[in-house]
Structure 1
Amino acid sequence: MADPVALVALVLDAAIGWPDRLYARIGHPVGAFARVLTFAERHGNRPERSEGVRRALGIVTIVTLIALTGAAAWWIDRESHLLLGRWGWIASAVLAWPALAQRSLHQHVRPVAEALMRGDLPGARAAVARVVGRDTDRLDQAGVSRAAIETLAESFCDGIVAPLFWLLLFGLPGVWVYKAINTADSLIGHKEPRWRAFGWAAARIDDGANWLPARIAGVLLCIAGAGGWRVMKRDARAHASPNAGWPEAAMAGALGVALAGPVAYDGVTQIKPWIGRGGRAATPGDIVTALQIYARACLLLWVIAGGVAWLA
């Protein structure tokens, strides 16, 4: 039996999350990635530079971030094992724990449902605005519910399945390199003119890093939701992202609701295809059910992590 690093990291994350007091004192590890990326973007993505130069500097930025993160995580992991000997795996689990987001995601989505069930639409809009990038000030109850369910499904992949996948595959360097890539995509991997060239490499690498985890996430949500297979197969590729459509379509099918569709960013409405087309409008109760499906899918990951440790 191998050391249960991934399973213990999952348990720590579910039980503790990343406590507010700890965040207030030291922030979160991904904050270091954000600071590096902000510095690199400010100096390398100047508008007077040509698109080719900005793309090249963006490639240098993400490759450097990956190399430094992987080397640092490898060194820290090695030193902890040298220091603690046979108990070094516990340090690895503790160091991997902040890269997971089971508890955090639940804590951010649950208040949206609670506000809607109280009839507090402004409060629900404010709560969902903390986890989505779209305009929320004009969303109705169905729009808020849809936004919450979409981010829950997509973040199940980005925040839990993908980091766990890379942790199981390559240990501590794997999980933190993934978090560096995903943070870079979130900050600079956008299609808007300002970011398109500089963030091109970050977006493409993130697509590759999430390709298999996204499909695993979709399968897990279908199993946990006892359905959704047909919708996932039919609509997963309707999403603009090559990956996000898989968990979103799985969740839409499991709930029997329609997700995606028209959405506004910075006051401009974008017409996007529906996922789960033909399904009904989402409700606050669907957010609660989606959270239950999400919890069961997370438990399936615990089983997988435990099984890998047992069989390895």
Structure 2
Amino acid sequence: MTLETFPSSLLSMVAVGALLVDIALGWPSWLYQRVGHPVGLFARMINRLESFWNQPQLAGGARRALGVLAVLLLLAAAGGGAWLIQTGLVYFLGSWGWLAVAALAWPGLAVRSLHDHVVPVARALADGDLTGARCAVGKIVGRDPETLDAHGIARAAVESLAESFCDGVMAPLFWLAVGGLPGLWAYKALNTADSLIGHKEPRWREFGWAAARADDVSNFVPARLAGILICVVAGRGWRVMWRDSGKHASPNAGWPEAAMAGALDLKLAGPVVYDGVRHPKPWIGSGRADLGSQDVFAALGLYRRACALLVVLTGGLAWLL
């Protein structure tokens, strides 16, 4: 059996297997301490290319071209390497190669990890521990946690949970189901590049342009699917998702965030502080803005139900194929 004959039904089984392993285990801290995480390899490659090629003395067009080349090299390394591994596994193990492929896809999902990073925020808020809540939320958001009150911390946690449902769960699973290991790890490489260099600040605006645009394209379908899943499990939120998804600066992040805001009848986003600078941002949703621990727990409940539905749908697809 070659990669070309690897059936789509097996890709669906790979997706189900990777999902279940990730839900059960996450990426354990002991494993991270010993071997790190695969995205760390992408981060090192991106940082090395950025230090070599993103030189301020170069013209903007040259830096943009080098940024495009950096993304292409990253995709070749991530997708090409994954293709070689998947091809070898399928060739030597035949149909049973899906088990090994699922094991190698597992680190690309973040179902358990995302949940386990948001829970401490909710618990600290419930205990009235603002210092602990700021410390916990600072691990999952880019804004300045020291400027946040309890409501701001809760909003940041809910927004991050909604947005990361796409980046950490829906999108990698989507690309795994579409393209196997190469699809999954090419997506993870792009997403890592966007988080490191896809910024609008002068240093990265030109060099990170390709990473940001490629990440937007790769998340286009998954972000909308993530928003739909949230609305489905909540049984509400559709109107707010359609109305407010375009208010986010990202063409994709607004979909799951607006769905979560509508599902829980909350206001998300709004003015935020990054690196000591206050940025005016429109509100998403028309409910309460004074979020608390109960709202973070409610968002976690929606997230768990959405992930459970995702397992069922992926399993159903594997059965049908």
Instruction: Name the TM-score class by shorter chain.
Output: over 0.9
1:123-162 equivalences in 2 (<5 Å):
123-162=132-171
Match of 1:96 among 105, 119, 122: 105
The alignment partner of 1:195 has SS state of coil
Query: Which residue in 1 is equivalent to 2:92?
Result: 83
- Opposite residue 302 of structure 2, the aligned amino acid is I
Match of 1:221 among 215, 226, 230: 230
The alignment partner of 1:194 has SS state of coil
Q: Is 2:302 the partner of 1:254?
A: no
Match of 1:9 among 18, 33, 46: 18
Query: Which residue in 1 is equivalent to 2:245?
Result: 236
- Opposite residue 268 of structure 1, the aligned amino acid is V
Q: What is the deviation of 1:78?
A: 1.1
Q: What is the deviation of 1:259?
A: 0.2
Match of 1:208 among 206, 217, 221: 217
CA contact (8 A) 2:265 2:286 kept: no
Query: Which residue in 2 is equivalent to 1:67?
Result: 76
CA contact (8 A) 2:89 2:97 kept: yes
The alignment partner of 2:27 has SS state of coil
Q: Please, which moves more after superposition, 107-116 or 45-54?
A: 45-54
Distance 1:280 1:161 in 2: 27
Query: Which residue in 2 is equivalent to 1:30?
Result: 39
Query: Which residue in 2 is equivalent to 1:122?
Result: 131
Match of 2:59 among 42, 50, 56: 50
Q: What is the deviation of 1:70?
A: 1.2
Query: Which residue in 2 is equivalent to 1:182?
Result: 191
Report how many aligned residue pairs link the two structures.
312
CA contact (8 A) 2:268 2:289 kept: no
Q: What is the deviation of 1:82?
A: 2.2
Name the TM-score, length of structure 1 as normaliser: 0.98
Q: What is the deviation of 1:307?
A: 1.6
CA contact (8 A) 2:75 2:190 kept: yes
The alignment partner of 1:2 has SS state of helix
Q: What is the deviation of 1:255?
A: 0.7
The alignment partner of 2:147 has SS state of coil
Match of 1:168 among 177, 180, 184: 177
Question: What fraction of aligned residue pairs are identical, expressed as a percent?
Answer: 60
| RMSD of aligned residue pairs (Cα, Å) | 1.0
CA contact (8 A) 2:198 2:208 kept: yes
- Opposite residue 25 of structure 1, the aligned amino acid is R
Q: Is 2:108 the partner of 1:108?
A: no
Distance 1:148 1:205 in 2: 26
Structure 2 residues not aligned, in runs of 5+? 1-7
Structure 1 residues not aligned, in runs of 5+? none
Query: Which residue in 2 is equivalent to 1:265?
Result: 274
Query: Which residue in 1 is equivalent to 2:5?
Result: none
Q: What is the deviation of 1:87?
A: 1.2
Cα offsets for 1:4-59 (capped at 9, x unmatched): 11001000000011111111111000000000000000011111111111101000
